[in-house]
Structure 1
Amino acid sequence: MASKKVLIACDSAKSLIDFRGKLVELMRREHTVYAFIPAIPPEQRAKLALLNIVLFENNLNGSNVSILSDLKYALKLYRLIKQLKPDVFFPYTLKPVIYGTLAAKLGDVRKITPMLSGLGYNFVNGNTSLTSKITRLLLKFSLKNRQGLSVIFQNKDDVQTLLDSKIISAKHQTAVVNGSGVDLSYYTPTRPDINNISFIMVSRLINAKGIREYFEAAQIVFLKHPQVTFKLIGSYDDNVDAIHPDLFSEIKHRSVINYLGAVDDVRPYISSSSVVVLPSYYREGIPRCLLEAMAMARAIITCDSVGCRETVETSPNSNGFLIPVKNTAELVQKMEYFITNKEAISSFGLNGLALAKEKFDVHKVNAMMMQIMDLN
């Protein structure tokens, strides 16, 4: 097929490398790829160079609300689209989707494939803030249907939410893919230590990810099982839903949790842990940390919430537990199940690995992405 020009827009260099690196490699075999991303940290520049794509930087802050900054971002992106004249425009994460889809329509891009990799904090039940209302209005305006627009989701719940909210209609062309996928040759299985049990949570430190629930559960479990250890990996971001500084201080200095901050490679930390925990109600797409856990043959405990529930299968091939959101007592109970049923850690982990191979292999996900974008 003829080579095409593909323009990607996202909210961080790290997400482009970690979540879309394999997709970009696949695109680059036949097509020219450009990316419009926020200022590239020095430690990411060499990794991005390996992708061999053309980069354009901007000053977007994906987490904060700034009308002037957002307008400057949208205008710069529109000018870039007019300059490059891409055949396919692929924005993902909320602000690039909203402003990028509008800019691409104004720039007469033939194929526009915005991906909503989770609806995030603005769609959490009970969030009636002005920011949430404005976000929903902007998203509806941006995603107004037209020929060549295909909206990509990572779970069916998000499709239904936007239909119920009348942000999209039944006439929209939509597709659901199994998250970002996971590279099974990079995240390889290891045998969990079931004699020295440890739990790990990998997440940004925001409320809707369930940080407080993990903190409280760890304190309770430790009182009964002082031999068990608890780890937490993730950055403390400047985010509208960031945990309170007092809770952050408690976690770092006065809790049983070993807080390890942000790390470049989670594999050794997952490998040295028995069970991966994510009590999130964030409106995830499909949480990447759970896919990585499954690929490494780890049992998981997560919430029966949007995106998270996609990663857990029940008997006879159970790979983890789904608990109600904001339910510390239930999280404690499931942690104690693994402490008192050590062999289940291994069997659940192997079931998770089988599920990762079946549904979440990055090559299967990317093949579908290429088809949606008319790139294969």
Structure 2
Amino acid sequence: MTMIPDQVQQQGIARGKSLNPPHQQIMKRKILIIADSSGSLIDFRGKLIEALTLNNEVNIFTPKILKDHIRTKLLEWKVIIHENSLNGSNVSIASDIKYILDLYKTIRIVKPDVVFPYAFKPVIYGGLVAAACRVKHITPMLTGLGNTFQDNNAKRIVKALTKNLLKLTLTSRKGLKIIFHNDDDRKTLIQNKIISQKSRTFVVSGSGVDLEHYSYSSPPDTKTLTFLMIARLINAKGVREFYQAALILGEKYPAVRFQLAGPYDDNVDAIDQDLYDKIRSGSVLNYLGEVDDIRSLIRESSIVVLPSYREGLPRCMLEAMAMGRGIITTDSVGCKETISTSENYPNGFLVPVKDVCALVSKMEYFINNRPEVLRFGENGRRYAVERFDVHKVNRDMLRILEASDSN
């Protein structure tokens, strides 16, 4: 369910004020947020965490914080930090057992009223450990289902194990509420009998986007066209498809630029070494590696591309739209949510998953129709304002997390 706040309530969050009138103040609770990456705390959840600290004591169980600005900001908000050694991308029984024990100890010390895990490992382990510790309110958020529910034969044993653990974690119980970033993921879990129709579920518009931080400060360059992809270098993001499209179009339009930003990490779905070497060579596209602040890259881009196989709701697309850039993505779960259905205000194109020819065709459309780059970008900003404003999304999240019922 999506609940749209009125303008006054939005302004209340933006100014750091309580959303609740004095006579309706919520009793201060202990909330334990369980993250799979310290980098996501500020970039993806910063505004939400800040809002939660207004009425609650916020604890965070997170992999080691390696960047000083993240720790500084959390301490500024008086967040209590508990660090662990989780590597969310790896499958390691020994490290997972250690993670579970550390989480158990943390929950026993904190004694949270609400446990809020997001992403796969935190949702599974956080949900199970919190239930074992008899935490009254468990509110897992699935930001996407990854490749666990994709139709391929890769990692069958891991997928089967993940599904069984997910079913055990999300079995309906008193005080359990499940948050999704798109309704297709909710339906997928129902179809796979992991949750039931009676489960308490909510759908929010992703993590939202800070429209002030990602502002439309300059129109896209239509003279020297630049296509940008922002993603980790894993197969499911469609890295190979973007590389192949750049290879085809680069030979036909040598003046057009292609850029790829994102880390190559130790992931079970990481692209193979041969493709990685080709990307790093720079002969087809400009590989920028991991970039801390991608605003300058989006500002320099004309169109942002993400040929992903499946997402919760891709944050890079929201950021591109907020900064006034047209987008090209796939008609897959999560990705399709970023394209406006209004025929009068198109903001981008959808292409079939793994269809390089279709991707080339849509990229070529912008090459041959430069004024459309501006129009689609303006429409993208409009759509981001209407649907993905972080303050609107956080209003929904606060209602879910701070609700006093335990049904």
Give the TM-score range, shorter chain: over 0.9
Give yes or no for the alignment of 1:154 onto 2:154: no
**Does 1:305 find its partner at 2:340?**
no
Secondary structure of the 1:34 match is strand
Is residue 2:92 matched to residue 1:28? Answer: no
Query: Unaligned regions of 5+ residues in structure 1, if any?
Result: none
Structure 1 partner of 2:165: 138
**1:216 corresponding residue in structure 2:** 244
Q: Which position in structure 2 is the counterpart of 1:202?
A: 230
Question: How far, CA to CA, are the matches of 2:92 and 2:294 in structure 1?
Answer: 32
**Residue 44 of structure 2 aligns to a residue in which SS?**
helix
Task: Give the alignment partner of residue 109 of structure 1, picking from 135, 143, 146.
Answer: 135
Distance 1:375 1:169, change over 3 A: closer
In the alignment, which residue of structure 2 is the partner of 1:335?
A: 363
Report the alpha carbon displacement of residue 87 of structure 1 after superposing the two structures with TM: 1.1
SS in 1 for 2:363: helix
Task: Find the counterpart in structure 2 of residue 174 from structure 1.
Answer: 201
- Report Cα offsets for 1:53-72 as digits up to 9, x if no partner: 00001111111111222122
Aligned equivalents of 2:135, 2:282: Cα separation in 1: 54
The alignment partner of 1:175 has SS state of strand
Q: How many residues align?
A: 375
- Give RMSD over aligned pairs: 1.2
Correspondence 1:96 to 2:122: yes
Are the equivalent residues in 2 in contact too, given 1:13–1:48 (CA < 8 A)? Answer: no
| CA shift digits 1:193-219 (9 cap, x unpaired) | 111111000000000100000000001
Deviation at 1:47, TM superposition (A): 4.0
- What CA distance in whole angstroms lies between the structure 2 residues aligned with 1:188 and 1:26? 21
Q: Residue 321 of structure 1 aligns to which amino acid in structure 2?
A: F
Say if 2:399 is the partner of 1:371: yes
Q: Quick one: which amino acid aligns to residue 34 of structure 2?
A: A
The structural deviation recorded for 1:375 is: 5.2
**Aligned equivalents of 1:19 and 1:375: distance in 2?**
22
Structure 2 residue ranges without an equivalent (≥5): 1-25
Indicate if the aligned counterparts of 1:21 and 1:51 stay in contact, CA closer than 8 A. Answer: no
Letter aligned with residue 278 of structure 1:
L
- SS of aligned partner of 1:122: coil
Structure 1 counterpart of 2:85, from 19, 41, 59: 59
Q: Which residue of 1 aligns with 2:37?
A: 12
Check the 8 A contact 1:290/1:311 in 2, yes or no. Answer: yes
Give the AA of the match of 2:119.
T
Distance 2:256 2:193 in 1: 47
SS at match of 2:55: coil
CA drift of 1:85 comes to 1.3
Structure 1 residues 142 and 359, CA gap change in structure 2 (3 angstroms): same
Q: Give me the whole-angstrom Cα distance separating, in 1, the residues matched to 2:150 and 2:285.
A: 27
Report deviation, 1:254.
Answer: 5.0
Counterpart code for 2:223 = N
Q: State the identity %.
A: 54
Q: TM-score, normalised by structure 1?
A: 0.97
Aligned to 1:85: 111
Residue among 387, 390, 393 paired with 1:362: 390
Deviations 1:306-365 (A, max 9, x none): 100000024221100000000110111001100111111111111111111111000000
Distance 1:124 1:214, change over 3 A: same
> 2:23 is matched with which residue?
none
> What does 1:248-287 correspond to in 2, within 5 Å?
248-281=276-309, 283-287=310-314
Question: Take 1:233 and 1:52, find their aligned partners in 2: how far apart are those partners?
Answer: 33
Distance, in Å, in 1 between the alignment partners of 2:41 and 2:146 is 18
In structure 1, what residue type is equivalent to 2:97? L
- SS of the aligned residue for 2:402 comes to coil
Q: Identify the match of residue 121 of structure 1 among 125, 147, 167.
A: 147
